[in-house]
Amino acid sequence: RFSLPSPIDPKRQNPYPLIPNPPSGERKNLQRAMHAPARKAAGGGGRGPVASALLLLAVGVFAFLISYSVLAMVLRGGGNGGGGTTGVGTGARDPVVRMPEWMRAAGGARGQRRPFHVALTATDAPYSRWQCRVMYFWYKRMQARPEGADMGGFTRVLHSGKPDGLMDEIPTFVVSPLPAGKDRGYIVLNRPWAFVQWLQQAKIEEEYILMAEPDHIFVKPLPNLAFDNDPAAFPFFYITPSEHEKIIRKYYPEERGPITNVDPIGNSPVIIKKNRHCLRRLLPHG
């Protein structure tokens, strides 16, 4: 038979035999101190509700971010059945300026593959080489997918004037940099000069060119969004033609229309036809 021990009366018996009987006031403080770890482990000390609230808040924020990402992907056509567009691949949509419907219908009706050649301008600097390797890796991955049928050849246009260590890894065409002083301190002018040399000297099988930069990465297959002599480009929110009307009017006179007709785009990424009506029209000698 077993019997439970009788409750300890602190007035008559020391509950802690190894510690001498303290005065009654100190006894209460001692009991609180010795039971503090247990209260802390159980969430006591007044911090339990705050910690629980912070945990719930963190879980709520995480759930919101996940839900937002999934919803955004569906609305942008990232799902298998999203987008509702034709002629440019499954779920593909233009983010700001959409391709005209007649252009989509015409491209889809032909049912022909319209490959574009990726032209990547780069230097032999270590950071540029690293970016080119990453970019080329993902280009190959996306090109191998069924939706990557429009992704044609690839050329790294190296405007350093001499070969580097990536010649055997990435298809490369070496061109000369601008002569000293010609860039007027704006070294980026080597990029258009590189395109001029490449278009004049290289043999390019594809009719369309995608002008790209080393820090671009293909996250999914890219269809040919251009059509005939109508190029496709990415609009940048920080390019504001209306704020630089005086400069733009040098190349876009008033008789051609309002400044708002000028698209907020750069030279890349751009898919454009290489004929004399489009890309070759920009060359010094056509």
Kindly state whether residue 123 falls inside one of the protein's structural domains: yes
pLDDT in tens, the chain (286 residues): 555 555 555 555 555 554 555 555 565 665 666 555 555 554 545 556 777 888 888 888 888 888 877 776 655 544 443 333 333 344 444 444 455 566 666 655 556 778 999 999 999 999 999 999 999 999 999 999 998 999 999 999 999 999 999 999 999 999 999 888 887 888 888 898 999 999 989 999 999 999 999 999 999 999 999 888 888 888 888 888 889 999 999 989 999 999 988 888 888 899 989 887 778 877 766 4
pTM of this structure? 0.61
Tell me, yes or no, whether 71 lies in a domain.
no
Residue 256 lies in a domain: yes
- The answer as to whether 72 is a domain residue is no
Residue 223: CATH number of its domain: 3.90.550
Length of the chain in terms of residues written = 286
Q: What is each CA distance from 82 to 53, 75, 128, 217, 283, in whole angstroms?
A: 38, 7, 35, 22, 39
SS3 55: helix
Residue with tokens 């246009």: 157
Token pair listed for 89: 């691949």
- For residue 181, is it within any domain? yes
Identify whether 30 is part of a domain.
no
Q: Is residue 39 part of a domain?
A: no
* Cβ-based neighbours of 179, under 8 Å, separated by 6 or more: none
Q: What are the backbone dihedrals phi and psi of residue 64, each rounded to the nearest 5 degrees, phi first?
A: -65, -45
**How many domains, the chain?**
1
270 in a structural domain: yes
- Joined tokens for residue 261: 């007709």
Token look-up 């920080």 returns: 238
Full residue range of the structural domain in which residue 160 is found = 101-282
Cis check for the bond before 284: say yes or no (omega within 30 of 0): no
Q: Is the dihedral of CA 94, 100, 102, 107 positive or negative?
A: negative
